């Protein structure tokens, strides 16, 4: 059983922290003793069908972390802006004096047949989901190396990167990209005792409600929709289910685990 103080005296940097998985991860780390550096863009992006997180959502994450008795530095920033990501991280490290865990969680999703994906959909998805992860890691890794105490990076990918889910070609490409980046960085950073892993959820009960995929699934239900089936009968995961795995991979309990692409997928990848 996990200790409720296994992250005592540690600091976690989490992107996309205003709601959903990022908020659950912030609360999970805080509940086990960590202070939090959080950022979120806090707006709707152009290519998504769902509403984005808000500044009020980020303020609620702050409240929930503080409710755990921990401190948090929260910044409205876009992961596509390297200078903004670096500034947000610098502010948190200045406040807390260290950095131990990175959770590169910020991401977006939209739906279309691969040959009908618009240039705008493609560009925005790749920029947020892949370049944003790269910028997050690029800002954090030098601090972890300089600190000289090891550390953990966990990147949010998707089971779709393992299965090639229909209707999400741009999203799949971005998430497969971060899965590959995970393995490369794990190889490069092992000498510094910095571990890098990715998690691959199935469907998670968050604000990313994919209304734009519904007509596509209806149109191609007989041939393509079965790729979305899971084995376990739970429907969707909750953000806390993902946060629990992220916390485990970040903890000393997983100190021999690096370079893996961990499904949290109700058995979807086994189909």
Q: Are 64 and 18 in contact (CB under 8 A)?
A: no
Mean pLDDT of 78-101: 98
What pLDDT does 166 receive? Answer: 85
Tell me if 195 sits within 8 A of 186, measured CB to CB: yes
* Residue 201 binned pLDDT confidence (cut-offs 50, 70, 90): very high
| Per-domain boundaries in the chain | 10-262
Which segments within the chain are labelled E, that is strand?
Answer: 11-15, 35-40, 72-76, 101-104, 151-156, 194-201, 261-264
Fold of 10-262: Rossmann fold (3.40.50)
What are the pLDDT digits (tens) for 141-171? Answer: 999 999 999 999 999 999 999 988 888 899 9
Q: Which residues are catalytic?
A: 171
Quickly tell me which residue has 């691969």 as its tokens: 114
Encoded tokens for 198: 């990715």
Q: What is the pTM of this model?
A: 0.93
State the Cα angle at 235 between 229 and 239, rounded to 5°.
115
* pLDDT at position 214: 66
For 223-247, what is each residue's pLDDT tens digit?
655 566 788 888 889 999 999 999 9
Please give the backbone phi and psi of residue 91, each rounded to the nearest 5 degrees, phi first: -60, -40
């Amino acid at each position: 059983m996990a200790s409720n103080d296994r992250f005592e005296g540690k600091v976690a940097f989490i992107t996309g922290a205003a709601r959903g998985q990022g908020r659950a991860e912030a609360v999970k780390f805080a509940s086990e003793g960590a202070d939090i550096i959080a950022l979120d863009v806090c707006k709707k992006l152009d290519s998504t069908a769902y509403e984005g997180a808000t500044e009020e959502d980020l303020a609620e994450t702050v409240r929930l972390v503080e409710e755990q008795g921990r401190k948090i530095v929260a910044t409205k920033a876009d992961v596509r802006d390297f200078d903004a990501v670096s500034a947000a991280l610098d502010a948190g490290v200045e406040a807390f004096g260290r950095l131990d865990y990175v959770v590169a969680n910020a991401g977006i999703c939209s739906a279309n047949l691969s040959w009908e994906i618009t240039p705008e959909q493609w560009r925005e998805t790749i920029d947020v989901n892949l370049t944003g992860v790269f910028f997050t890691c690029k800002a954090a890794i030098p601090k972890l190396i300089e600190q000289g105490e090891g550390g953990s990076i966990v990147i949010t990918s998707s089971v779709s990167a393992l299965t090639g889910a229909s209707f999400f070609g741009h999203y799949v490409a971005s998430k497969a990209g971060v899965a590959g980046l995970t393995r490369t960085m794990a190889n490069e950073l092992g000498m510094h005792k910095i571990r890098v892993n990715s998690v691959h959820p199935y469907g998670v009960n968050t604000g990313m409600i994919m209304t734009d995929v519904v007509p596509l699934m209806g149109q191609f239900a007989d041939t393509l929709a079965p790729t979305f089936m899971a084995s376990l009968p739970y429907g969707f995961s909750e953000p806390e289910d993902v946060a629990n795995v992220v916390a485990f991979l970040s903890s000393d309990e997983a100190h021999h685990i690096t370079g893996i692409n961990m499904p949290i997928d109700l058995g979807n990848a086994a189909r």
